[in-house]
Amino acid sequence: MVFIILMLLLGWTQSQGCQPYGIRLFLGHYFSYLRNSQDVIRIVFNTEQECRGQFVLELMDGKTDKQLMTSQITYYDTQLLNMTQIYEKNQTTHYNYETFIHTFKIGLSNLDVNVSTSYNYTIVSRQNSITSGPYKFDIPLAQNEQKMLVFGDMDSNWVQNYSKDTFNWLENQVKSDKRYDTIIFTGDMAYDLESNNCKQGDNWLRNISVFTNRYPFMAAPGNHDNGNNTFYDFFRANFGALFLKEYNTQHYLNDFFSFDVGMVHFISFNPIKAVYHNDVNNITHLIVEQMRNDLIQANYNREKVPWIIVYTHYPIYCSAPNSDQCLNNFNYLSAFEDLFVQYNVDLYLSGHVHTYQRNKPYYKNNIAQYQQKDNIISKYQYPVSIIEGIAGTDYGEQNETFPQKPFIEIQNPNHGVGIITIKNSTHLYYEHITVADNKVIDSIWINRSIELNNKSKHDGFEIVMWVIFSILMVITGVSIYFKSNQGKKNKNKLLDETIKMVVS
């Protein structure tokens, strides 16, 4: 009898240890420049025990409910995040925490990215028949209108319920089956991911799955995500799935990444070393050069992917009192600003300051050229910049309004999220919603058509001028050639006559 009870308890313990938690989606490398056809959507989750090789993924067509695949082991990977081992030689910090991270990669062989855009999926344990799901995801399509959620600076502890209203709003979006192609997260999770023996981060994983099991979660790292050793161990293992390994060195921790979602080219970068003045290994210039090369390619591809949006944790123009970054980020990040202008970036998103703030186009701490009629911005020299740092956190002051500055168009301290809607190749709509009452408190249209038309006319004018210039150069060359030949003929004729005179 005791043996049976022990076996039942052991089975229950193993069952609990292999219960998936923190289920989250990511866009795979099919959307990065690698265009990996075997890595379109990633489904990631954690377990307390290893449970290696135990899970299968069932994928169903969202329209017909027809089963499309049951994953094979080749789609499935398990890794251990052992924070105890990572910090075992650390003189000041010690952890007793480990978690196992499981990743399924779904490729084009199981997805039709041109027709069926909705899929249902269930995670099943072979050993104990534990099932998680069914859940749902959509494939972003360039020919469709795209929608993206934008928010950052958010915890999941709900000590004072500052982020609970945001969680409730997001959960309602899922329950209402609202479609968003991805979540753009502007950094700072859990406050902090590695706090309280990593329980803060673990709790964050367990709670965010109410919306990350539905919408791909593409996060930029914040200063509260970097960990006690500043190596982003917890963040990179659980959220840094897309960073490119070839750039991942001891000092350069994948601080740049880009990907395409429909008509948008997104660039995420992490300038933490520049804004906190600790770039002792001179890493910032590497990020600048990566961004330059990336923007060159993005502009070549602009006919297919017309919009360029940059997001990070750190704003360039903000007005938090006594903040060195709000006073000087336009200096610290000037090399990036120059690239935004040179390569016509459309939108710059950040967090860090706990507010919603939309700025006028500003460049080198001065107003940049742009036109605005009502809430439509066009002919902008510098991208429209927006701070989305108000998803809710117990850290710091709440509902704070910061000093007004010349660059601020509007700010609002109430908890909220942003929504980007890409209408077509020339029109982008941005709205900010306060989550407590689901009200749109700010909206703006960005119109590229005037810029594009002007650019087209400008390009046409340049082509005509180059043609005229080329023709003039040809005429000049021919004229010089003939004059030169004529001069030679006259010179030869004169020389012949001179010789004849001398001979005579």
What is the percent of the chain where pLDDT is above 70?
Answer: 83
The per-residue pLDDT for 4 is 44
State yes or no: pLDDT of 13 exceeds 80.
no
Q: Do residues 44 and 240 touch, judged by C-beta distance below 8 A?
A: no
The least confident of 148-157, 382-391, 429-438, 494-503 is 494-503
The per-residue pLDDT for 1 is 46
State yes or no: pLDDT of 188 exceeds 90.
yes
State the Cα angle at 318 between 315 and 321, rounded to 5°: 130
State yes or no: pLDDT of 477 exceeds 60.
no
Show me where the domains of the chain are located.
1-33+42-139, 145-447
What are phi and psi for residue 388, nearest 5 degrees? -115, 80
3-state DSSP assignment of residue 397: coil
- How far is Cα 110 from Cα 424, in angstroms, rounded to an integer? 28
What is the percent of the chain where pLDDT is above 90?
Answer: 70
In the structure encoding, which two tokens stand for residue 18, read together? 């292999």
The per-residue pLDDT for 169 is 98
Which of 99, 96, 105, 107 lies closest to 79, judged by CA? 99
In the structure encoding, which two tokens stand for residue 387, read together? 């701070």
The least confident of 101-105, 353-357, 472-476 is 472-476
State yes or no: pLDDT of 372 exceeds 70.
yes
Report which secondary-structure segment, H or E, holds 137: strand 131-138
In sequence order, what E strands does 362-501 have? 362-363, 366-367, 371-373, 376-378, 384-388, 408-412, 416-422, 427-434, 439-447
Contacts of 336 (CB under 8 A, 6+ apart): 269, 271, 288, 291, 310
User: H helices within 39-190, ranges in order?
Assistant: 83-86, 164-175
State the average pLDDT for the chain.
86
Residue 322, by phi and psi: left (phi above 0), alpha (psi -120 to 50) or beta? left
Q: Do residues 98 and 84 touch, judged by C-beta distance below 8 A?
A: yes
State yes or no: pLDDT of 426 exceeds 90.
yes
What are phi and psi for residue 362, nearest 5 degrees? -130, 140
Q: Do residues 298 and 305 touch, judged by C-beta distance below 8 A?
A: yes
Q: Do residues 82 and 96 touch, judged by C-beta distance below 8 A?
A: no
The per-residue pLDDT for 451 is 59
Q: Confidence class of residue 465 from pLDDT cuts 50, 70 and 90? A: very low
State yes or no: pLDDT of 243 exceeds 80.
no
pLDDT, mean of residues 152-176: 94
In the structure encoding, which two tokens stand for residue 113, read together? 């990215």
Report which secondary-structure segment, H or E, holds 288: helix 284-300
pLDDT, mean of residues 176-184: 97
pLDDT, mean of residues 294-307: 97
User: H helices within 72-156, ranges in order?
Assistant: 83-86
* Other Cβ atoms closer than 10 A to 422: 23
In the structure encoding, which two tokens stand for residue 272, read together? 């933490």
The per-residue pLDDT for 190 is 96
The per-residue pLDDT for 73 is 38
- Amino acid in the structure at residue 463: I
The per-residue pLDDT for 144 is 81
- How far is Cα 435 from Cα 438, in angstroms, rounded to an integer? 5
The per-residue pLDDT for 397 is 81
The per-residue pLDDT for 376 is 98
pLDDT tens track for 34-54: 999 999 999 999 999 999 889
State the Cα angle at 230 between 320 and 413, rounded to 5°: 25
334-342 and 284-300 are packed helices; what angle lies between their axes, rounded to 10 degrees?
10
Q: Confidence class of residue 14 from pLDDT cuts 50, 70 and 90? A: low
The per-residue pLDDT for 141 is 83
User: H helices within 301-352, ranges in order?
Assistant: 324-332, 334-342
3-state DSSP assignment of residue 465: helix
Measuring CA to CA, how many Å separate 353 from each of 3, 324, 408, 457?
58, 12, 13, 40
Return the CATH architecture of domain 145-447: 4-Layer Sandwich (3.60)
Q: Return the half-sphere exposure (C-beta side, CA atoms, 13 A cut-off) of residue 300.
A: 6
- Amino acid in the structure at residue 91: Q
Q: How do 182-185 and 146-151 pair as beta strands?
A: parallel
pLDDT, mean of residues 51-62: 88
State yes or no: pLDDT of 392 exceeds 80.
yes
The least confident of 305-309, 398-402, 459-463 is 459-463
State yes or no: pLDDT of 458 exceeds 80.
no
The per-residue pLDDT for 224 is 96
pLDDT tens track for 69-114: 665 434 788 999 999 999 999 989 999 999 999 999 999 888 888 8
Cis amide prior to 134 (ω within 30 degrees): yes
**Would you say how long the chain is, in residues?**
504
The per-residue pLDDT for 462 is 42
